[in-house]
Amino acid sequence: MQKIEHIGIAVANIDEAEARYEKLLNTKSYKREEVASENVITSFFKIGESKIELVASTNEDGTIAKYIEKKGEGMHHIAYAVEDINAEVVRMISEGFQPISKEPKKGADNKMVFFFHPKSANGVLVELCQEIK
Ligand code: ZN
């Protein structure tokens, strides 16, 4: 693990949330990106070395919509930057963490991503991400 790449926040309405976080962080979102394979739209903010990702479902039965239905809006995941996502996935599975993804796939912000179940990480969804070069 290299560092925390970003913190993901589940939001119901991307426009409203983006406007609110532009005020909160006093900076504009640097990227808005839809990830069609996940049925989500994301908005990214950079503050110093840190990033915040707002994520909303683009359909009513998307995973983020279901999450918000159950738990409300809020912190959704912590994403860790890794150098070699395949090696890190193998390592974490061997340590007993429960994968959600089948294999790394292309996520938002030019990254390959892979998710581990919150049950195996004290209630926090874990995202691994590796920059696509
Ligand atoms: Zn993320």
**Is pTM beyond 0.85 here?**
yes
- CA of residue 10 to ligand 1 center, whole Å: 10
Distance CA 109, CA 34 (A): 10
Domain locations in the chain? 3-131
Distance CA 113, CA 120 (A): 18
Name the class of domain 3-131. Answer: alpha beta
- CA of residue 94 to ligand 1 center, whole Å: 23
- CA of residue 49 to ligand 1 center, whole Å: 15
- CA of residue 133 to ligand 1 center, whole Å: 18
The answer on pLDDT for 42 being more than 90 is: yes
- CA of residue 108 to ligand 1 center, whole Å: 8
Sorted by sequence, the CB contacts under 8 Å of residue 2 that are 6+ apart come out as: 80, 81, 82, 83
- CA of residue 37 to ligand 1 center, whole Å: 14
Percent of the chain with pLDDT over 70: 100
- CA of residue 21 to ligand 1 center, whole Å: 16
Task: Calculate mean pLDDT across residues 52-58.
Answer: 97
User: For residue 101, what pLDDT band results from cuts at 50, 70 and 90?
Assistant: confident
Residue located via tokens 């359909």: 59
